[in-house]
Amino acid sequence: MHIANKGVIVTGGASGLGAACVRLLTEAGARTTIIDFNTETGTALANELGEACIFVKTDVTKEEEVQAALQAAHAHSGEINILINCAGIGVAEKILSKRGIHTLASFSKVISVNLIGTFNVIRLASALMAENQPEGEDGERGVIINTASVAAFDGQIGQAAYSASKGGIVGMTLPIARELASLGIRVVTIAPGIFDTPLMAGLPEAARVSLGQQVPFPSRLGRPDEYASLAKHIIENTMLNGETIRLDGAIRMSSH
Ligand SMILES: C[C@H](O)CC(=O)SCCNC(=O)CCNC(=O)[C@H](O)C(C)(C)COP(=O)(O)OP(=O)(O)OC[C@H]1O[C@@H](n2cnc3c(N)ncnc32)[C@H](O)[C@@H]1OP(=O)(O)O
Ligand SMILES: NC(=O)c1ccc[n+]([C@@H]2O[C@H](COP(=O)([O-])OP(=O)(O)OC[C@H]3O[C@@H](n4cnc5c(N)ncnc54)[C@H](O)[C@@H]3O)[C@@H](O)[C@H]2O)c1
């Protein structure tokens, strides 16, 4: 799918990997909508990028907020053609530790934001994509890109909730791609390794350094623009569908 003049929604677009996608796709001529619940960073980025980009304060776990945000995006860009799900949170909590037993609330919170939130936006955005005129020789109507993590496959100590949420995103990628294929809507998931974003800034420096050193090549944290570059290629390469793509420098995370 060509990007110029397309309607793009990026959840979690106010920071990190999502913000890099908003920048790259706005620069490529798309009309972008940032769906995020951080008003300060979301507004700042939309103001920086100008008229082609708007921010809508939204919690992806809330059905009515997502509906309202999609309507605003539709009004802003005329059509919804591309969705990138980046909204997500991390958590580090062991099942049993000196702090006690892993709480159900913290597990449920991570699943709610990362997995259920991603599904909530997919189901509502795909209904709008289905209304689009088919484009080009393939009759494409939309592209949906989700964000899992290498933790879906190599989860570390303390990542039961986080890895489960990302494994769920990997698991639902193919069935949703199969369902939406008849509408010309593709679904692809990126599983990033370790990227230098505010989410990772929350880890102790020693853990960040250790993780960066675990990456075979390049032995460093990934840059958000490298994630955005893959997302742009997925949008432009119609043969990519129904797959989860690791973007990780060949890291296979150790147990901790
Ligand atoms: C974010 C993207 O999607 C990509 C990624 O997933 S990046 C990977 C991020 N990794 C994580 O988030 C790991 C999360 N886990 C943790 O931070 C910690 O395991 C935890 C905070 C949950 C528990 O840590 P802590 O309370 O110190 O565990 P504790 O039970 O005291 O440690 C027991 C032993 O296990 C080891 N250990 C446990 N977790 C560890 C960790 N994360 N790092 C290093 N050692 C760890 C330690 O060796 C420790 O023994 P020691 O104190 O005798 O050296
Ligand atoms: N940084 C990494 O190393 C890494 C690796 C693998 C996967 N990921 C995943 O990439 C995605 C983006 O992560 P990041 O590193 O850019 O993090 P980040 O914290 O920089 O950005 C996440 C954004 O999502 C927003 N958000 C969180 N919960 C939300 C909700 N309920 N509704 C709306 N917005 C919400 C936050 O406000 C923030 O702007 C996440 O899904 C994360 O799990 C990150």
pLDDT value of position 31: 98
Distance of CA 219 to the CA centre of its chain: 24
Q: What ipTM did this prediction achieve?
A: 0.93
Q: Ligand 2 centroid to 202 CA: how many Å?
A: 12
What CA–CA distance (Å, rounded) separates 118 from 85? 6
pLDDT, one tens digit for every residue, the chain (256 residues): 999 999 999 999 999 999 999 999 999 999 999 999 999 999 999 999 999 999 999 999 999 999 999 999 999 999 999 999 999 999 899 999 999 999 999 999 999 999 999 999 999 999 999 999 999 999 999 999 999 999 999 999 999 999 999 999 999 999 999 999 999 999 999 999 999 999 988 788 888 888 889 999 999 999 999 999 999 999 999 999 999 999 999 999 988 7
pLDDT value of position 205: 85
Q: Ligand 2 centroid to 133 CA: how many Å?
A: 32
Out of 9, 10, 11, 17, mutate this one to test ligand 2's pocket (max ligand atoms within 8 Å of CB): namely 17
What CA–CA distance (Å, rounded) separates 155 from 106? 17
Q: Ligand 1 centroid to 18 CA: how many Å?
A: 26
pLDDT value of position 157: 94
Q: Is the CB of 228 under 6 A from ligand 2?
A: no
The residues, ordered by sequence, that sit 6+ positions from 55 with a Cβ below 8 Å of its Cβ are 14, 33, 34, 36, 39, 42, 43, 45, 46
| DSSP calls for 157-217 | TT-HHHHHHHHHHHHHHHHHHHHHGGGTEEEEEEEE--B-SHHHHTS-HHHHHHHHHH-SS
pLDDT value of position 210: 84
Q: Which ligand is nearest to the CA of 148?
A: 2
CB-CB contact of 115 with 148 (8 Å) = no
Tell the residue nearest (CA) to atom 12 of ligand 2.
86
* Catalytic site positions: 162
Helices 16-27 and 39-49, axial angle in degrees (round to 10) = 20
Q: What angle do CA 248, 111, 33 make, to 5 degrees?
A: 70
pLDDT value of position 56: 98
What CA–CA distance (Å, rounded) separates 26 from 186? 21
Which residues does ligand 1 sit against, CB inside 6 Å?
Answer: 90, 92-94, 97, 149-151, 156-159, 194, 207, 211, 253, 256
Q: Which ligand is nearest to the CA of 192?
A: 2
pLDDT value of position 120: 98
Model confidence, pTM: 0.95
Cis (ω within 30 of 0) for the bond into 218? yes
Amino acid identity of 24? Answer: L
Beta bridge partners of 188: 145
Alpha helices in the chain (DSSP H): 16-27, 39-49, 63-77, 104-110, 117-129, 151-154, 160-180, 198-201, 205-214, 224-236
Of 237, 226, 232, nearest to 84 (Cα)? 232
CB-CB contact of 29 with 57 (8 Å) = no
- Dihedral pair phi/psi, residue 51, rounded to 5°: -60, -30
Pairing state between β 31-36 and 7-11: parallel
Task: Please give the number of the atom of ligand 1 that sits closest to the Cα of 154.
Answer: 6
Q: Ligand 2 centroid to 16 CA: how many Å?
A: 7
